[in-house]
Amino acid sequence: MRELSYPKNKINVLLLEKVDKIAFDLFKEEGYNVESLDGSLSEKDLIKKIKDVSILGIRSKTIISEKVIKSANKLLAIGAFCIGTNQIKFESCNDSGIVVFNAPYSNTRSVVEIVIAQIINLMRKIVIKSNKMHSGVWRKDSLDSFEIRNKVIGIVGYGNIGSQLSVISEALGMKVLYYDIVDKLSIGNAKKCKSLNDLLKNSDIVSLHVDGKKSNTNLISDKEFSIMKEKSILVNYSRGNVVDIDSLIKNIKSKKLMGAALDVFPEEPSNNKEKFKSKVKGIEEIILSPHIGGSTKEAQKNIGSYVPDKIIDFINSGNTSSSVNFPKLSLPEQSDSHRLIHIHKNQPGVMLKINKIISEYNINIKGQYLKTNEEIGYVITDIDSVYNKEVVKSLKNIPATLKLRVLY
Ligand code: NAI
């Protein structure tokens, strides 16, 4: 039976965007062929490169388009070594039975720490004063400099990052308001706002921690800025599309806003050699950082091992419980058995067809579980007898089949 399962030394892993070396080592230890590149690849280059790749590791810069997926004949899994996954075309991954994993919590703390740092930077004008000193100007004053204690921070998006920021802000003596489209339990003394407007009009500091989905594009634009308090500040460490940059610039220039800190931009260079182009350049009230919210050694180490662990477990046991797009399923390993995984479009009757074929070949099922989401049906079947290529072929030929894997 084992010869029907895919040999590990034929599994090619391609890691892009300088994923932590731990990931390289973990895949290598597993017996896979691993190639790691420093930058991301353009669609054209990725299409060429992906043909023989079974596992692809990316961060936030690599765009996984429909064309890329269509050229990926052998791709089983994509590991997003980051939190956000809107760079990946999920419809295409689902149509090809490709599972996607990410690292939802590994850099949460890192983002929270830098956000706090930037809030203090903005409230004390540290960057402006530092720039002046570098050009020989000594400006000792307390003009527009404030403590953060007792200030109101409005957190938009109360997910992993937003809720941790809430805890630390409160520990520093700030009052916390939050708004989320989903009903979220308030942590500590944080107060839930009924609407985004409610939060905006009552916050001294607005910090954005929503996801970058299309409907969040320009979430903060002219109308929202007009509702914000005079001399408030804005921090965006979420996604670049969330803030309308032209509108932000207008509101900084008119002094409605005292300052802003941005880590993410509508267009970002795809590697360190490319130039950063943006209208915010040269406006010293806006502190800029190059999408480094989650970029600490600690976070990269966490992510570097979290994602490969999940992918290797998926390859070896079929466990999809931490996947982003697949039905979540995990079955304990059974001794003296073989495991088959059938991935199909979620349509009625597929399970019946799978079991009809298995019974026709007189094979006994030791354990079986089907889980579906809107798009995909995922079946793990443990059987006790040795079986042949014919069964595998028949299972593959069931209409609606996306992938069939023989694990052990
Ligand atoms: P999460 O998914 O745990 O939380 C996002 C929250 O935003 C959810 O609770 C969701 O219901 C809420 N939300 C979505 N749209 C909303 C809207 N229009 N109004 C109010 N709430 C809304 O995500 P997590 O882990 O907290 O990450 C947040 C953001 O931070 C993501 O966009 C992620 O890509 C970004 N990020 C940026 C990093 C950086 O280096 N700058 C590093 C890590 C994450």
Residue with CA at minimum distance from ligand 1 atom 8? 159
Query: Which atom of ligand 1 is least distant from the CA of 215?
Result: 18
Do 115 and 264 belong together in one domain? yes
Orientation of helix 350-360 relative to helix 389-396, angle to 10° = 160
Pair 101, 120 in one domain: no
133 and 174 assigned to the same domain:
yes
Nearest Cα residue to 291 out of 243, 239, 248, 242: 239
Residue nearest ligand 1's atom 10 by CA: 157
State the pLDDT confidence band at 5, using cuts at 50, 70 and 90.
Answer: low
What is the C-alpha to C-alpha distance for residues 128 and 117, in angstroms, rounded to an integer? 15
Global confidence as pTM: 0.78
CA dist 27 and 315 (Å) reads: 11
Domain hosting residue 53, numbered range: 1-107+297-326
**Do both 159 and 277 map to the same domain?**
yes
Beta-carbon contacts of residue 88 (< 8 Å; ≥ 6 apart) = 64, 78, 80, 100
Considering the domain architecture, whether residues 354 and 386 belong to the same structural domain is answered as yes
For atom 9 of ligand 1, the residue with the nearest CA is 159
Express each pLDDT in 162-213 by its tens digit. 999 999 999 999 999 999 999 999 999 999 999 999 999 999 999 999 999 9
Residue 235 is predicted with a pLDDT of 99
Instruction: Please count the structural domains in the chain.
Output: 3
Q: Is 231 found in the same domain as 136?
A: yes
How much of the chain, in percent, has pLDDT values that exceed 70? 98
Q: For atom 34 of ligand 1, which residue has the closest CA?
A: 84
Residues 338 and 316 occupy one common structural domain: no
Can you tell me which residue has the tokens 């388009």?
65
Q: Is the pLDDT of residue 3 over 80?
A: no
Q: Rounded to an integer, what distance in angstroms lies between the CA atom of residue 347 and that of residue 341?
A: 16
Distance 64 CA to ligand 1 centre (A): 20
> Mean pLDDT throughout 147-164?
98
Distance in Å, CA 281 to ligand 1 centroid: 25
Burial (0-12, 13-18, 19+ Cβ within 10 Å), 392 = middle
Cα 161 to Cα 238: distance, rounded to the nearest angstrom: 9
SS3 (DSSP) at 194: coil
Same domain for 99 and 132, yes or no, is no
Q: What is the CATH number of the domain that holds 368?
A: 3.30.70.260
Question: Which residues form the catalytic set?
Answer: 239, 268, 291
Q: What is the pLDDT of residues 361-403, one digit of tens each?
A: 888 999 999 999 999 999 999 998 776 788 899 999 999 999 9
Residue-by-residue DSSP string for 278-338: -TTTT-TTEEE--S-TT-SHHHHHHHHHHHHHHHHHHHHH---TTBSSSPP---PPPTT-E
* Nearest CA, atom 18, ligand 1: 216
What's the CA gap between 208 and 131, in Å, rounded?
26
Domain shared by 396 and 320, yes or no: no
Q: How far apart are the first and last CA of the chain?
A: 7
376-383 vs 338-345, strand pairing mode: antiparallel
Q: How many whole angstroms from 101 Cα to the centroid of ligand 1?
A: 17
Tell me the best of 60, 196, 209, 303 to mutate to test the pocket of ligand 1, counting ligand atoms within 8 Å of each CB and taking the most.
209
Distance CA 365, CA 114 (A): 53
User: Domain check: are 231 and 322 in the same one?
Assistant: no
Using the mean position of ligand 1's atoms as its centre, give its distance from the Cα of residue 238 in Å: 6
- CA 161 to ligand 1: nearest atom: 26
Q: Are residue 89 and residue 144 in the same domain, yes or no?
A: no
Taking the centre of ligand 1 as the mean of its atom positions, its distance from the CA of residue 102, in whole angstroms, is 14
Judge if 131 and 265 occupy the same domain: yes
- Residues with Cβ within 6 A of ligand 1? 83-84, 104, 107, 111, 156-162, 179-182, 209-212, 216, 219, 237-239, 263-264, 291, 293-294
Q: Looking at residue 228, which CATH number applies to its domain?
A: 3.40.50.720
